[in-house]
Chains A and B, each alone.
Chain A
C-alpha cells in the first residue's frame, strides 16, 4: 500500500519562475493538506482540500500561491513568480475523510530552492 507520493522531490527555480508541486494521496484518501517547513522550524499549515473543493485556505499567502485537487489526478500546489523566501520544504498529507478524528499521513516532501 503506497504512501503519500510527492514529486518532484527537489525543485530548483530562479526568481520569477513558476513552481508546481504535486501530491498523490494514499489510496482511498480523499482529503489533502499542504504544509510548509522553513529551515530549522516546524511545519506551518497552508491549505486543506477535498476533491474539487478548497475547505480551508487560511494559511495560504494571499498572492502568488494557489492549490487545487481535481476530480482526477494529483493535488497541485502552484507558486507563481517565486522569490527567495519561498525556499522551503513543502509537505503534503492525506487522510481518509471518514471521520473527524482521523490522522494525517505525510509524504516525503518537495524541497524548493529559489536561486
Chain B
C-alpha cells in the first residue's frame, strides 16, 4: 500500500520569506512523487515531479522540491513567497514498480502568504 502524509494543515509565511510545505510518503517500490496546487473552485495544477535522477527538482512558478530517500520526504520549497502563492498544495505518490497509475494524495496543506 502507498500513502502520503502532509503533517501541516496550514502554513503561514510573510511575503518575501522562504516557504516550505512538508510531505512524507510510503511506498513499497520506487516512489514517483508529484506536487500539485489547487486554487479555490479550480482543478489541480501540476507543479513538479520526481521520477529519478537529481534529488532537487525544479518546477513551475519558482517552486522546487527535494527528494530525500532516507527520510522518505519530498518537501516543497520556494526561496521567496508571493501573496499569489496562497492556495492549497497537494503531494501525491505512486509506486513506480507496480505499473499502477493511480495517484495517492495527501490531505493537503493550505499556504497563506501575508503581505
Interface residues of A (CB under 8 A from B): 4, 6, 31, 33, 35, 41-45, 48, 55-56, 58-59, 91, 93, 95, 100-101, 103-109, 111
Contacts and interface: CB of A to CB of B under 8 A. Distances in A.
Given A42-B106, A101-B51, 20 more contacts: A4-B43, A33-B101, A41-B107, A42-B105, A42-B107, A42-B108, A43-B90, A48-B102, A56-B100, A56-B102, A59-B102, A100-B99, A101-B32, A104-B103, A105-B46, A106-B44, A106-B46, A107-B43, A109-B42, A111-B41
A48 B101 contact: yes
A105 to B, nearest CB: 6
Given A101-B32, A103-B49, A45 B43 contact: no
A43 B34 CA distance: 13
B53 to A, nearest CB: 11
Interface residues of B, number: 25
A103 B43 contact: no
Nearest to B90: A42
B45 interface: yes
A90 B43 CA distance: 10
A99 to B, nearest CB: 10
A103 B44 contact: no
Contact of A106 (B32, B36, B104, B107): B36
Contacts of B34: 103
Nearest to A55: B101
Contacts of A59: 102
Contacts of A100: 96, 99
